[in-house]
Structure 1
Amino acid sequence: MIEQPANVDAAVNTPVVVDSNDDGTVSQELELEHMRSRLEEAIVETRSTSLENRPRLPRIALSKRNRAVVRALNPMLVTYLEASRDLCETDSILFGAALAVCRIIGAKVSTAGRATGHRSAIPAWRRRIEERIAKARALIGRMICFRSGNNRPRIVCTVRMAFAGTNVSLSQPDITQKLTERIYDLKQRIAAWGKRIRRYTERSTGFNQNRLFQSDQKRLYASLERPIVSGTGPAPNQADTVAFWRGLWSESVNHSEGSWTEVVASQCAGITPKDPVIITPDDVAEAVRRAPNWKSTGLDGLHHYWLKGFMLCHSVLARQFQEALDQKSLPSLFTGITHLVPKDQDTQTEM
């Protein structure tokens, strides 16, 4: 009874057993050696790959086996993290470890780069329904042509396939009535599919409006009152846009400071300076704990789930973030790209 908890912990912490008939210790050592080699391969591969060409990491199931694999790889990262020199190298190590976990558990990893793998905003089920509607409309058109006397081989073949599996023959005398019934049935199906899409659209719109009402009511009311812009107006000239913003941000301007600056300086002289910010591993752990697991990633493509699983990186991240804060510089990994999107058709005149 006393040794039972230790045995249970050992069984839970064991990553994967190769063969239950073999000796448990040998199987575990072989499995750990296999994981170590996969980790080394993934880290080396990630270091030689640019950010935009990294594969897209999938969302893995939160199962006991997957957690066991992450726990097994966590202590193996000590050697790599201790030798890490900056945040970019640490991020590369963590991404390689996440890639190794996905390959060990057999998760499907996209081989194409994240820059080319754009995901459609339309759900897959809606695309399938729209394809069915398009095929049904094409079939209705062929059947109407056949009913009006068009007997071309392609149309006849299509109509014959439409009645496949039934006792209807194209040579029977009541074929016109059968065609009319079949066309009516297809139209009813198209109407049902269209209602399904409209129900989804209305439900999605209502859900988004309710969520926006809880976060920003002013923005919701503005979106309801503002007319919908189709976006067909002329876009602003790219050269003029670049010149406009470059004149605001790139050219140095000598400002003439007035006497108010001396008044503000005298008023702020008695303010106690704020204590310097010290980033600790607990701060990193708390920030990671509150972050959603599978929130959209940044340029590195690494989800928060991996920062939670590889807990040994918290101390390294705290030290490297502190160094970046003291040096007042961040690597290019934390920079983003800003796209200028015209909000309405008056953008040209405002500029």
Structure 2
Amino acid sequence: MVEQPANVDAAVNTPVVVDSNDDGTVAQELELEHMRSTLEETIVETRSTPLENRPRLPRIALSKRNRAVVRALNPMLVTYLEASRDLCETDSILFGAALAVCRIIGAKVSTAGRATGHSSAIPAWRRRIEERIAKARALIGRLICFRSGNNRPRIVRTIRMAFAGTNVSLSQPDITQKLTERIDDLKQRIAAWGKRIRQYTERSTRFNQNCLSSRVIRRGSMNHWSDQW
């Protein structure tokens, strides 16, 4: 016990498999291969996962072991970053690397608050618009059925509700024209709602990309000044 090495704590806390027949070189190579395999798996997984479905990454402690894992993964990222075609792919690579670090050190990755549930993944305003679009499409289908001569009680009741509060009567001579106008109006509303969703999605994507670009530039500037210092 007295002759036990002083770095035994670091050896216990490092997730490597040591063979008693070698001097630790084989164990280090196995650990690096495990890290490389984990990194490749997380990057592939992140590339095929939508942004809103990514898990929440925890804040990890800046311990010696965690810093060693990050330093070991940094050289492995060079190949992926050099092959990156755009900023979105670079973001996926960096997120995959962060996820690999969490898995290697055994940090708990929680998916709470992400897209594990449909209600948490989509904003409330977008769900309301999508519900309006669904109801409008259903009403268009009923209007088309009635215009085609379908006079079932359920269809007629829906058409009367659609024209409630107006001077339109289902027995008037120009009811076909009124139905067509109502269908065109609903189609225009659906197009406007869909355009609103697309505009917000594009604006949100640009905002996220600008934030990521700012962080990358800021990190590069800090590294530049630290190297000079």
Band the TM-score falls in, shorter-chain normalisation: 0.3 to 0.5
**How far, CA to CA, are the matches of 2:88 and 2:195 in structure 1?**
50
CA deviations 1:241-269 (Å, max 9, x no partner) are: xxxxx99xxxx9999xxxxxxxxxxxxxx
Say whether the 8 Å CA contact 2:52–2:121 is kept in structure 1: no
CA pair 32-167 structure 1, distance change in 2 beyond 3 A: farther
CA pair 99-143 structure 1, distance change in 2 beyond 3 A: same
Q: Greater relative contact order (Cα 8 A, min sep 6): structure 1 or 2?
A: 1
CA deviations 1:93-113 (Å, max 9, x no partner) are: 000011011001101012456
**How far, CA to CA, are the matches of 1:85 and 1:200 in structure 2?**
25
**How far, CA to CA, are the matches of 2:170 and 2:133 in structure 1?**
24
Say whether the 8 Å CA contact 1:46–1:95 is kept in structure 2: yes
**How far, CA to CA, are the matches of 1:107 and 1:183 in structure 2?**
55
CA pair 173-58 structure 1, distance change in 2 beyond 3 A: farther
Deviation for aligned residue 1:126: 33
CA pair 56-150 structure 1, distance change in 2 beyond 3 A: same
SS at match of 2:111: strand
CA pair 122-36 structure 1, distance change in 2 beyond 3 A: closer
**How far, CA to CA, are the matches of 1:165 and 1:30 in structure 2?**
76
Deviation for aligned residue 1:91: 0.5
Say whether the 8 Å CA contact 1:16–1:69 is kept in structure 2: no
Say whether the 8 Å CA contact 1:160–1:170 is kept in structure 2: yes
Say whether the 8 Å CA contact 1:15–1:69 is kept in structure 2: no
Deviation for aligned residue 1:23: 2.5
CA pair 56-14 structure 1, distance change in 2 beyond 3 A: closer
CA deviations 1:177-230 (Å, max 9, x no partner) are: 9999999999999999999999999999999999xxxxxxxxxxxxxxxxxxxx
Say whether the 8 Å CA contact 1:52–1:113 is kept in structure 2: no
Unaligned 5+ segments in structure 1 are: 211-245, 256-347
Deviation for aligned residue 1:37: 0.5
Partner of 1:206: 206
CA pair 115-26 structure 1, distance change in 2 beyond 3 A: same
Identity of aligned residues (%): 92
SS at match of 1:52: helix
**How far, CA to CA, are the matches of 2:24 and 2:228 in structure 1?**
73
Say whether the 8 Å CA contact 1:16–1:65 is kept in structure 2: no
Task: Count matched residues.
Answer: 220
CA pair 32-193 structure 1, distance change in 2 beyond 3 A: same
Deviation for aligned residue 1:61: 1.2
CA pair 107-203 structure 1, distance change in 2 beyond 3 A: same
Partner of 2:193: 193
**How far, CA to CA, are the matches of 1:58 and 1:48 in structure 2?**
21
RMSD over aligned CA atoms reads 15.9
CA pair 13-37 structure 1, distance change in 2 beyond 3 A: same
**Which has a greater percent of helix?**
2
Partner of 1:46: 46
CA pair 154-206 structure 1, distance change in 2 beyond 3 A: same
CA pair 165-54 structure 1, distance change in 2 beyond 3 A: same
**How far, CA to CA, are the matches of 1:159 and 1:205 in structure 2?**
40
**How far, CA to CA, are the matches of 2:227 and 2:3 in structure 1?**
79
CA deviations 1:60-99 (Å, max 9, x no partner) are: 1111001100100000001100000111100000000110
SS at match of 1:120: helix
Say whether the 8 Å CA contact 1:38–1:100 is kept in structure 2: yes
Say whether the 8 Å CA contact 2:52–2:114 is kept in structure 1: yes
CA pair 155-39 structure 1, distance change in 2 beyond 3 A: same
Say whether the 8 Å CA contact 1:57–1:110 is kept in structure 2: yes
CA pair 49-9 structure 1, distance change in 2 beyond 3 A: same
**How far, CA to CA, are the matches of 2:189 and 2:39 in structure 1?**
52
CA pair 33-151 structure 1, distance change in 2 beyond 3 A: same
CA deviations 1:307-351 (Å, max 9, x no partner) are: xxxxxxxxxxxxxxxxxxxxxxxxxxxxxxxxxxxxxxxxx9999
Deviation for aligned residue 1:176: 81
Partner of 2:67: 67
SS at match of 2:150: coil
Say whether the 8 Å CA contact 1:56–1:109 is kept in structure 2: yes
Say whether the 8 Å CA contact 1:54–1:113 is kept in structure 2: no
TM-score (norm 2): 0.43
CA deviations 1:133-177 (Å, max 9, x no partner) are: 999999999999999999999999999999999999999999999
Say whether the 8 Å CA contact 2:53–2:121 is kept in structure 1: no
- The structure with the larger Rg is 1
CA pair 129-85 structure 1, distance change in 2 beyond 3 A: closer
CA pair 47-3 structure 1, distance change in 2 beyond 3 A: farther
Deviation for aligned residue 1:114: 2.0
